[in-house]
Each structure stands twice: as structure tokens, then as C-alpha cells.
Amino acid sequence: ASPPPPQFRARGRRLMSIAPVASPVLATLRVAASTRESPSPARRVAPARSRVFERVVVRSRAVPSDTTSASVMSADVPSLRLVYFDVMAKGMQVTMVAHHSGLSWEGKPEGFAWRDGTKAMKPRAPFGQLPLLFVGGDDTAPVAQTTAIAAVIGKLAGTDGAENTNDFAMSSMLVAEAEDIYAALQKGQPTLYAKIGSGVKTEQTHQELWTKSLPHHLGCLEKLCDVDGRFTSTGVTSGEMFLWGVLHQVALLAKAFAFDGRPKLAAYYERIAAMERTVEVLEGKSPAGSMAQYFVAGPIH
């Protein structure tokens, strides 16, 4: 048979030149791919404002939560501003991620308003809701949605576990799980602004929250957590901080219910709670300021 035309011979050489690069990548991908509780707490009237007071084990470089690495303090990291209301709700999770990141960040600007005024945020919110994260200046297009905000901060700070595939996967899983728990709370638990009988919040959904949904989620987390209260090799990934922001809101309602019989999950909660930066968040000393308890233990009268 006659040899192929020159243009096909050239294409063949190009494909062969790509093969040595593609093969290790494919190999890496293949390796990565292989690798009933107490009834609901007593329903009681809560004050309108409440005081704001593991199965992956791959040890890699630790990133202490209360110290910063040289890379985190790099001048190349853009400015950050995190904007949310003065309640925990969706703000606690991203505040924990930001304050434990080691990055310099700011809270809502002076004169902050939601609907009206020159600093109104609603017109700038891509989905008409908070929180928002401004990266590189207040005149930039903001990042919306809590999961996206956590991902951006984690990437900038290097706290997303990206250096270790297992850590990155677990951190991402915890963010998703935290969102599921939050959604369950929104469906069945009264808040500062919505009592039982408002919307989907019924006696039935409230009972299901405490007898089915929360026990299931908390039980799954107990199985994933290590005996020392870590989900990842560092124990301080953005996902672990994000999850803590939701579990703290469950603990404010019924701490014993959340952690009795779940020693590993309890160790995780107490370990993060004792960190200096967590204390600052709870005491209102972070750039976010004070945040009121959003979910309450009974209907509001």
C-alpha cells in the first residue's frame, strides 16, 4: 500500500506527541476513581434575639486554623467583602469559612441596605438574595450562593483540601451535606420570622425533622468522622468550617439531642468551637459582627 499523504503523517506525529502527556493524566484519573433517636425537643417560646455567644484518613500538610501560611498572606490575594444580614441562617457557614481562611476580609459596608439607598445590595444580587462575596473590590460583580462563596474562599486560601484528592472530596461533600441539613431545618423548624403554620412549616414537618431527618443526617456524619473529630487530614478545611456553621444552629436548639450517642461528631463540634477564631465569630468580633439566632425552638408569638 502507498504511504499516507503528508498532511496525515503530520497529524499522526502530533497525536503521538500528545500521547505521553495524556497517558499519565488518564492513569491518575483511573487511580482516583478506584480509590432512632429521642423525640423532638420541647416546643417553647424563644426570645426574639438570642445571645450569639471522619472515613478518610490521609495525612498531609496541616493548615492550622488559627495561624496563616505565607501563601495565604500573599499580596496576590484580592480583597474580600462578605455581605449578609445580622442573623446566622445562611451567614454563619460562610463567615466560618472566611474567618478561618487566614485571609483578610471585610463585612458589610457602612450604610449597608438591602433594597434602598446607594449601597442597596438587592439590585446587585444575581439571584435576589444574600449572602454576596465581592472579590477584588466593591465595584466587581459579586459571587452569590453560599456554596459558591465557600468554594471561592477555599480556593483563594488553600483551605479547600485541593492538595489532597480525598480531602477535597470530603470537604466538598460536607458543604453539600450542610446544605441538606439547612434545607431540612427550613422546612420543619420555626425561625425568627416564620412560626409553625407558615408555609411548609407544619406540626408534621417539625416532627419529621427531629425523628427522621436530623437523626439520619447526624448518623451519617458520625460514621464519616474520625475518633479525633476530623473529617479530613487537616481537620480545618473549608467544608468542615461550613458544616460547623449549620451544626451550631442545630446545637443551639438541642445540643444533647445532636451529639448524645455520637462521640466523634461531638468531638468535631467541640474542637472547632474551642478555636480562637470560632470564639470571635460567636462573640461578634469577626468582620461580620453579631449574628442573632435564626432557628428557634418553638413558634414565635
Residue pLDDT, tens place only, 55-77: 333 333 334 455 444 344 445 78
Residue with cell 476513581: 33
The vertex-119 CA angle with 193 and 51, nearest 5°, equals 35
Give the torsion sign (CA, 13, 14, 18, 19): negative
Q: Which residue has the higher pLDDT, 231 or 18?
A: 231
Q: What is the mean pLDDT of residues 284-294?
A: 97
How does pLDDT run across 230-269, given as a tens digit for each residue?
999 999 999 999 999 999 999 999 999 999 999 999 999 9
Q: How far is the C-alpha of 15 from the C-alpha of 7, rounded, in Å?
A: 13
Alpha helices in 105-213 (DSSP H): 146-157, 165-188, 203-208
3-state secondary structure of 106: strand
Which amino acid is located at 290 in the chain? Answer: S
Say what the pLDDT of residue 111 is. 86
Residue 8 above 50 pLDDT? no
Closest CA relative to residue 157, chosen from 94, 224, 109: 94
Q: Are 160 and 151 in contact (CB under 8 A)?
A: yes
Residue 251 makes CB contacts below 8 A (sequence gap 6+) with 258, 259, 269
What is the pTM for the complete model shown? 0.76
Residue 184 dihedral angles phi and psi, to the nearest 5°:
-65, -40
How does pLDDT run across 194-236, given as a tens digit for each residue?
988 888 899 999 999 999 999 999 999 999 999 999 999 999 9
Percent of the chain clearing pLDDT 70 (strictly above): 74
Q: How far is the C-alpha of 45 from the C-alpha of 240, rounded, in Å?
A: 31
Cα 218 to its chain centre, rounded Å, is 16
Between the alpha carbon of residue 108 and those of residues 88, 123, 296, the distances in Å are 14, 15, 25
Say what the pLDDT of residue 117 is. 81
Q: What is the mean pLDDT of residues 141-168?
A: 97
Q: How far is the C-alpha of 162 from the C-alpha of 159, rounded, in Å?
A: 8
Q: How far is the C-alpha of 202 from the C-alpha of 28, rounded, in Å?
A: 49
Kind and range of the H or E element at 214? helix 214-224
